[in-house]
């Protein structure tokens, strides 16, 4: 039997996230969105939000209680992220989803010594922001999905073994989330250049203050204004072997076992799809044309009905993927997570476009929320891999 009802604890968690999003995130987003100053550093504003969210347990939600986490499931995470994403998808995704998922990654890929050492901050409740970097400026990130076993295809950042350490050299793309503001980095580098990418990627944990780790300026994007993205330069970065996560060359396998990143991102986009729907619904009830609220014109009403139906369908896809992540990691990683991410982003883009249409000319003004919805939704297309390569990967599993 399928039971979609939430437990009392889950409903309380959802309310806590809703209240946090409305009272803490919303005012900060308003300040950042309304500022025309390109010099503004969003992290200066978002830092306090990240601290409060960490105190509420949103970044340690998935960690076992023995590490000071809440011992929650992926289903709990998506409930929280939908609420945060409804207010701002970039804060939900960049700060909370990424940190929650990478903390979980340490418990999956790390030895017990690494888990204790790297996650020691969780117990103290100190905020600890993570960044994860695979993409590079002169390499198509989609190469990560390439089935051709050609060693020349893919990432070039190289980790050379040197005694009890690796020396990393290379550059990561200007899109890397939290680059320059994070407390620690998970960097993907090749540990062999004569083997195909799938057999030569390794994952290194690198604290922010490691010598040789440098960052570019903040990248400005069409949306996601509250988040921070920049290049990472690795210039003879010495990483002790104790900071290699998993075995050398097993990075690709390990990443497949972290479907929570894509599922969490999908949940953020369900939040955006819902927000766009609710915004358009509210407008349609108030705007009068031909003597009646526009919601009473069938063509508008049907658009709103489709927005509601699609949001519901995306939510169920995400919940099912989250439930699978809690029971069958492999299936979630190969099929359910990419499917949920692709579908939720498609629905968010469609709802954002429709909301813009329902608002008529006001939809394209800066005063309306619809421009932000559309810009933020469009970014989901390529963030965490494009819908093309995700679907191509999926097809291989059919």
Q: Which of 54, 114, 141, 369 binds ligand FAD (CB under 6 A)?
A: 141
The answer to whether the beta carbons of residues 202 and 244 sit under 8 Å apart is: yes
Q: How many residues bind ligand FAD (CB under 6 A)?
A: 22
Task: Note whether 133 binds ligand FAD by CB under 6 A.
Answer: yes
Q: Which helix (H) or strand (E) holds 108?
A: helix 98-109
User: Please, which of residues 344-363 interact with ligand FAD by CB under 6 A?
Assistant: none
Piece of the chain touching ligand FAD by CB under 6 A; list 34-42, 294-302, 310-318, 382-390: 382-390
Nearest residue to 226 (alpha-carbon basis) of 177, 156, 298: 177
Query: Across-strand partners of 189?
Result: 202
Pinpoint the alpha helices (H) of 232-328. Answer: 251-256, 260-286, 298-325
- Here's the x/- map for ligand FAD, 200-229, by CB under 6 A: it reads as ------------------------x----x
Q: DSSP assignment, residue 149?
A: -
* DSSP labels, 154-176: S---EEEEETTEEEEEEEE-TT-
The answer to whether the beta carbons of residues 325 and 74 sit under 8 Å apart is: yes
The answer to whether the beta carbons of residues 147 and 396 sit under 8 Å apart is: yes
How many residues does this entry show for the chain? 398
The smaller minimum CB distance to ligand FAD, of residues 234 and 389, is found at: 389
Piece of the chain touching ligand FAD by CB under 6 A; list 67-75, 174-182, 245-253, 260-268: 174-182
User: Please, which of residues 232-271 interact with ligand FAD by CB under 6 A?
Assistant: none
We find the least distance from the C-beta atom of residue 172 to ligand FAD, in angstroms, to be 6
The smaller minimum CB distance to ligand FAD, of residues 75 and 270, is found at: 270
The answer to whether the beta carbons of residues 98 and 132 sit under 8 Å apart is: yes
We find the least distance from the C-beta atom of residue 229 to ligand FAD, in angstroms, to be 6
The smaller minimum CB distance to ligand FAD, of residues 145 and 319, is found at: 145
Piece of the chain touching ligand FAD by CB under 6 A; list 65-73, 309-317, 339-347, 387-395: 387-395
Q: Which of 140, 153, 165, 331 binds ligand FAD (CB under 6 A)?
A: 140
We find the least distance from the C-beta atom of residue 299 to ligand FAD, in angstroms, to be 32
We find the least distance from the C-beta atom of residue 94 to ligand FAD, in angstroms, to be 8
Query: Within 10 A of 180 (CB to CB), how many other CB atoms are there?
Result: 20
Q: Which of 29, 80, 379, 393 binds ligand FAD (CB under 6 A)?
A: 379
User: Please, which of residues 281-310 interact with ligand FAD by CB under 6 A?
Assistant: none
The answer to whether the beta carbons of residues 133 and 232 sit under 8 Å apart is: yes
Q: Which of 135, 243, 310, 354 binds ligand FAD (CB under 6 A)?
A: 135
Q: Which of 83, 134, 231, 346 binds ligand FAD (CB under 6 A)?
A: 134
Q: How would you class 191 by CB atoms within 10 Å of its CB: exposed for 0-12, middle for 13-18, buried for 19 or more?
A: buried
The smaller minimum CB distance to ligand FAD, of residues 141 and 354, is found at: 141
C-alpha distances (whole Å) from 381 to each of 150, 238, 266, 346 are: 27, 35, 11, 8
Piece of the chain touching ligand FAD by CB under 6 A; list 33-41, 130-138, 278-286, 324-332: 130-138
The answer to whether the beta carbons of residues 127 and 264 sit under 8 Å apart is: no
* CA angle at 62 for the pair 59 and 67, rounded to the nearest 5°: 85
Q: Which of 101, 109, 122, 175 binds ligand FAD (CB under 6 A)?
A: 175
**Dihedrals phi, psi of 244, to nearest 5 degrees:** -85, 125
Q: Which of 181, 276, 294, 383 binds ligand FAD (CB under 6 A)?
A: 383
Task: Note whether 177 binds ligand FAD by CB under 6 A.
Answer: yes
CA separation for the pair 245, 251 (Å, rounded): 8
Which residues of this protein are in contact with ligand FAD, per CB under 6 A?
132-135, 140-142, 173, 175-177, 224, 229, 379, 382-386, 388-389, 392
């Amino acid at each position: 039997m399928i039971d979609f009802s939430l437990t009392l604890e889950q409903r309380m968690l959802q309310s806590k996230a809703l209240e946090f999003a409305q009272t803490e995130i919303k005012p900060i987003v308003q300040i950042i969105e309304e500022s025309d100053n390109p010099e503004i550093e969003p992290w200066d504003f978002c830092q306090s939000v990240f601290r409060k969210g960490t105190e509420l347990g949103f970044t340690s939600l998935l960690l076992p209680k023995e590490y000071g986490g809440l011992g929650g499931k992926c289903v709990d995470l998506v409930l929280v992220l939908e609420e945060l994403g409804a207010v701002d998808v970039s804060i939900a995704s960049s700060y909370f989803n990424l940190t929650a998922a990478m903390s979980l990654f340490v418990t999956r890929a790390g030895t017990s010594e690494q888990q204790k050492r790297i996650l020691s901050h969780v117990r103290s409740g100190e905020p600890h922001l993570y960044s994860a970097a695979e993409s590079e400026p002169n390499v198509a990130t989609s190469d990560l999905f390439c089935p051709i076993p050609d060693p020349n295809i893919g990432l070039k950042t190289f980790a050379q073994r040197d005694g009890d350490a690796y020396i990393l050299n290379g550059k990561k793309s200007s899109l890397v989330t939290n680059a320059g503001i994070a407390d620690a980095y998970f960097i993907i580098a090749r540990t062999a250049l004569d083997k195909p990418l799938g057999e030569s990627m390794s994952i290194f944990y690198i604290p922010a203050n490691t010598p040789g780790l440098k960052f570019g300026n903040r990248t400005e994007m069409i949306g996601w204004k509250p988040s921070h993205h920049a290049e990472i330069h690795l210039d003879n970065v010495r990483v002790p072997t104790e900071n290699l996560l998993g075995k050398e060359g097993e990075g690709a396998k390990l990443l497949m076992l972290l479907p929570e990143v894509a599922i969490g991102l999908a949940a953020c986009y369900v939040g955006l799809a819902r927000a766009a729907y609710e915004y358009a619904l509210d407008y349609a009830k108030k705007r009068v044309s031909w003597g009646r609220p526009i919601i009473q014109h069938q063509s508008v009403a049907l658009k709103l009905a489709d927005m509601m139906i699609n949001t519901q369908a995306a939510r169920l896809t995400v919940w099912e993927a989250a439930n699978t992540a809690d029971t069958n990691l492999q299936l979630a990683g190969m099929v359910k997570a990419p499917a949920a991410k692709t579908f939720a982003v498609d629905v968010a883009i469609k709802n954002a476009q429709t909301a813009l249409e329902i608002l008529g000319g006001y939809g394209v003004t800066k005063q309306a929320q619809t421009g932000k919805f559309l810009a933020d939704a469009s970014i989901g297309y390529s963030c965490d891999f494009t819908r093309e390569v995700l679907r191509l990967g999926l097809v291989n599993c059919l």
